[in-house]
């Protein structure tokens, strides 16, 4: 990191952005409990080996529960040449903003 602040986006702006990839980097159990409906899931520990699954032509919004894990993934993706931003507050902020969330069965989700 070169000392510049990490690019970030808030949950409401991320939800309203139509041409972004919402990349949820939480663990499987967290993902199953509740996620943004259009998000893709690649756990933080699998990013390196699954990086080719991420669309390089679109901005990537990295999401975790609070913004900590996703900040590390954001920095990694920036270092790999992606247009990546960290969603501040993570899924906790998403839930607080009362944005749509679904669980593994398509029902209303929760953040764990």
Instruction: Name residues whose C-beta falls within 8 Å of residue 97's C-beta, 6 or more positions apart in sequence.
Output: 11, 12, 15
Residue 64 annotated as catalytic: yes
Question: How are strands ordered across the β-sheet holding 20-24?
Answer: 8-9, 84-87, 59-63, 20-24, 40-41
Q: What CA–CA distance (Å, rounded) separates 91 from 34?
A: 9
The one catalytic residue among 64, 73, 77, 93: 64
59-63/84-87 β-pairing: parallel
Per-residue tokens: 58: 């679109």
Catalytic residues: 64
């Amino acid at each position: 990191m070169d000392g510049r602040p990490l690019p970030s986006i808030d949950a409401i702006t991320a939800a309203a952005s139509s041409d972004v990839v919402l990349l949820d980097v939480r663990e499987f159990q967290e993902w199953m409990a509740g996620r943004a409906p259009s998000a893709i899931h690649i756990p933080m520990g699998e990013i390196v080996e699954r990086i080719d699954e991420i669309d390089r032509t679109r901005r990537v919004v990295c999401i975790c529960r609070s913004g900590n894990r996703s900040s590390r993934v954001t920095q990694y993706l920036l270092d790999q040449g992606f247009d990546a931003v960290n969603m501040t507050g993570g899924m906790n902020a998403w839930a607080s903003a009362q944005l749509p969330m679904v669980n593994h069965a398509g029902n209303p989700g929760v953040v764990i």
